Amino acid sequence: MQAQHPSRDMAKLVMTLRRLYAKDSFQFGLLVFDVLTVLSFLVLTFTEHTLWVDIFDAVLGLLLLAEVGARGLVSYNRPKFWRRPTTILDLVIVCSLLMPGMIGSFAFLRVLRVVRLVRAVPFLRDLPKRHLWLVEKGELIRSFANLFIFIFLASALVYEAQAAINPDIDTFVDALYFTVTSLTTTGYGDVTLVGDSGRLLSVVIMITGISLFLKLAQSIVRPSRIYFPCETCGLDHHEPDARFCKRCGTAVELPEEEKV
């Protein structure tokens, strides 16, 4: 029997992976995987470095490498995919896990994998109608995701910038504690950043954090917009009392149960 051509086998593999990535259940599984990855990095900041930690890092690094490679295969523009900052960051994380002795731990960079959680926004937006109640909460979800991502990014930056020079920042949780107390303007004062760069970073955290908190509060308090695509221009969210599309002026007939 004649063996199949390798290029045909690769094409079949790519098509199989693309069908897999198109499934809601698989996308949700990737989100869970990203969340667990971030949580594992946080837990390891409290764990003494042992052989089992190295083994865990190696296994996790191989899993991350396989996931990045799969996303590269299913990409329709592979050169662009491998040049993306998020892809480069993932590869740096993989190197820090597989070659910690040569590269360094880059623990704060691992926490930046939380950026991958932004894929939840388009995923939830494109859910089928059976999950419409999630789609209608898209603005609230985006506001919460932006705040969540900012908190972890800012904490990672604080940890990297202050851990070696500030006795108050010993673990990532110390940095997380400072970030939350700063952006909520609570400011207990038991943890402060040192140096001019630390003061400037504190200012950025407070200003940006307050803005994101206000955005989240607005999304919670004000009435949610209704998911109802306009037949003329395609605008898919309207105010609950809307009678005309605010983009093109076409009359919209919201479902009776959605009208106020």
Chain segment 121-138, per-residue pLDDT in tens: 566 555 544 455 555 566
Q: Which residues on neighbouring strands pair with residue 238, listed in sequence order?
A: 226
Task: Report the alpha-carbon distance of residue 129 to residue 124 in Å, rounded.
Answer: 11
pLDDT bucket at 2, cuts 50 / 70 / 90: very low
Tell me what pLDDT residue 104 has. Answer: 55
Task: Report the alpha-carbon distance of residue 110 to residue 96 in Å, rounded.
Answer: 8
Which helix (H) or strand (E) is 83 found in, with range?
helix 78-83
Task: Report the alpha-carbon distance of residue 14 to residue 12 in Å, rounded.
Answer: 5
Tell me what pLDDT residue 258 has. Answer: 45
CA dihedral (195, 200, 205, 211) in degrees, to 10, reads 160
The domain spans of the chain are 1-127
Using only C-alpha atoms, the chain has a radius of gyration, in whole angstroms, of 23
State whether residue 237 is helix, strand or coil: strand
Residue 33 has pLDDT above 60, yes or no: yes
Tell me what pLDDT residue 257 has. Answer: 45
Task: Give me the CATH topology for the region 1-127.
Answer: Four Helix Bundle (Hemerythrin (Met), subunit A) (1.20.120)
Cβ neighbours for 151, distance < 8 A, ≥ 6 positions apart: 176, 179, 180, 183, 209
Chain segment 55-108, per-residue pLDDT in tens: 888 888 899 899 899 999 888 888 899 998 878 888 888 887 887 665 555 556
- Single pTM value for the model: 0.63
pLDDT bucket at 163, cuts 50 / 70 / 90: confident
Joined tokens for residue 138: 């898209």
Chain segment 176-225, per-residue pLDDT in tens: 899 888 888 787 888 889 888 888 888 888 888 888 878 777 766 665 56
The residue that leads in pLDDT, 202 or 242, is: 202
